[in-house]
Chains A and B, each alone.
Chain A
């Protein structure tokens, strides 16, 4: 059977038998890879420490009938600082949980890989309040898989905005004609925050956004969660673990 080389970010691992692990990785060229790593739970294992969740690695694999087998691992970036802090680790959990849910085996998705790498690099830099990066990550991931939140046009009739109504199901802002009767208008700051979170710009500007308008950010964050859970059709298990001010 064939051997191949690839790189990937470790999403999560499952214990297998006495000392092995099943490892889920996201590769830029192959999508999700599920592989077995033998003996990595034994202390002193040659590459066990490199296969912890959130690590970016270079791998040698052996194709198997069901799961591939990892035979060599080199570290590209360990992102150790993410694992050492509870808040950052919880934030990274939400990132890998959603990627693990949307990534498909054998489906190339470089944009998803770059987003995850940027998200983890940002967390590894040691932000004080990582929650805002989770919000941005979720909206950007939704956008990559086809659910971009509308913020400058009406999600139903596409008339250009800004509009005052916000809908989870419709996928963004709504104009006065399309909003169902009785819908309450939201603070325009909330829509600005959602737009910035979803836009895909610099991660570095996000903490000040959250600091300057905490109320708008709180509303935008709960909108984000509802939006992503609705459109990805799944509950985000790790979301509540992320500390929020």
Chain B
């Protein structure tokens, strides 16, 4: 244990995801040794982000205004919604430049064992959007893991009666990898998601 202020900093850092007690200590002592201006910039960045960034009232992506940049962009195709777990998934998909539609961010994935159920996600808001916006297709882009699959299955059941086309992001072989290096679960999924060569 250290003196008050240092220990407070270590405790706060230790609460960040992926930061254990050892790393928290290392970061704290790094900050103690850096220039005042550098430390101030970090503190300011945290304060500013908390003060100015909020969630988009339409899609729950992070936004600097009432609605996010993508929802406000009139060139985006409003008939296709890509449903993702987290705002960082929007960033990942945007990087591909493949998708011209808009998003809906659920804010997590269903995980019964962690006590996270459908009511903890922005699902009601999604259903409301389908009513209010001219959406023809929903693309489910959940993570290919237990929680993501449970969420996608729950969503497709929920949305089936609403008459909107629901598709799921294909999962398969990583580009640049070797076929024989893939595990059989991934390879099996790649098989079931195969398509005609155009």
Q: Which residues of A contact B (CB under 8 A)?
A: 12, 15-18, 43-44, 46-50, 52-55, 75, 78, 80, 83-86, 89-90, 93-94, 96-97, 237-238, 240-242
For chain B, the bracket of interface size reads 20 to 34
Cβ-neighbour of B114 out of A49, A94, A237, A240 (below 8 A): A237
Top 5 A-B residue pairs of the complex, sorted by shortest distance between their CB atoms: A238-B112, A44-B174, A241-B112, A49-B185, A86-B153
Closest Cβ of chain A: how far from B109's Cβ, in Å? Answer: 11
Interface residues in B145-186 by Cβ distance below 8 A to A read 145-146, 149-150, 153-154, 157, 174, 176-177, 181-186
Closest to A43 in B: B174
Roughly how many angstroms separate A240 CA and B118 CA in the complex, as a whole number? 11
> Is the pair B117, A241 in contact by a Cβ cutoff of 8 Å?
yes
> Is the pair A49, B150 in contact by a Cβ cutoff of 8 Å?
no
| Set of chain B residues within 8 Å of A44, measured between Cβ atoms | 174, 176-177, 181-182
> Is the pair B183, A83 in contact by a Cβ cutoff of 8 Å?
no
Closest to B158 in A: A86
> Is the pair A75, B184 in contact by a Cβ cutoff of 8 Å?
yes
B21 contacts A by Cβ under 8 Å: no
| Set of chain A residues within 8 Å of B174, measured between Cβ atoms | 43-44
**8 A-B contacts (beta carbon < 8 Å):** A17-B18, A47-B183, A54-B146, A55-B185, A78-B185, A89-B150, A96-B113, A237-B114
Closest to B178 in A: A44
Q: Which residues of B contact A (CB under 8 A)?
A: 18, 110, 112-115, 117, 145-146, 149-150, 153-154, 157, 174, 176-177, 181-186, 188
| Set of chain B residues within 8 Å of A240, measured between Cβ atoms | 117
| Set of chain B residues within 8 Å of A80, measured between Cβ atoms | 185, 188
Which residue, of A54, A97, A237, A240, has the highest number of chain B Cβ atoms within 10 A?
Answer: A237
Which residue, of B112, B117, B177, has the highest number of chain A Cβ atoms within 10 A?
Answer: B112
Roughly how many angstroms separate A43 CA and B149 CA in the complex, as a whole number? 16
| Set of chain B residues within 8 Å of A15, measured between Cβ atoms | 18
| Set of chain B residues within 8 Å of A238, measured between Cβ atoms | 112-113, 115
Roughly how many angstroms separate A217 CA and B181 CA in the complex, as a whole number? 48
> Is the pair B113, A93 in contact by a Cβ cutoff of 8 Å?
yes
Roughly how many angstroms separate A27 CA and B86 CA in the complex, as a whole number? 34
> Is the pair B113, A85 in contact by a Cβ cutoff of 8 Å?
no
> Is the pair B185, A52 in contact by a Cβ cutoff of 8 Å?
yes
| Set of chain A residues within 8 Å of B115, measured between Cβ atoms | 237-238
| Set of chain A residues within 8 Å of B110, measured between Cβ atoms | 86, 241
> Is the pair A83, B157 in contact by a Cβ cutoff of 8 Å?
no
Roughly how many angstroms separate A53 CA and B157 CA in the complex, as a whole number? 22
Contacts A43-B174, A49-B183, A55-B185 known; 7 new A-B pairs at CB < 8 A: A16-B18, A49-B184, A52-B185, A83-B149, A93-B113, A97-B112, A237-B113
> Is the pair B18, A84 in contact by a Cβ cutoff of 8 Å?
no
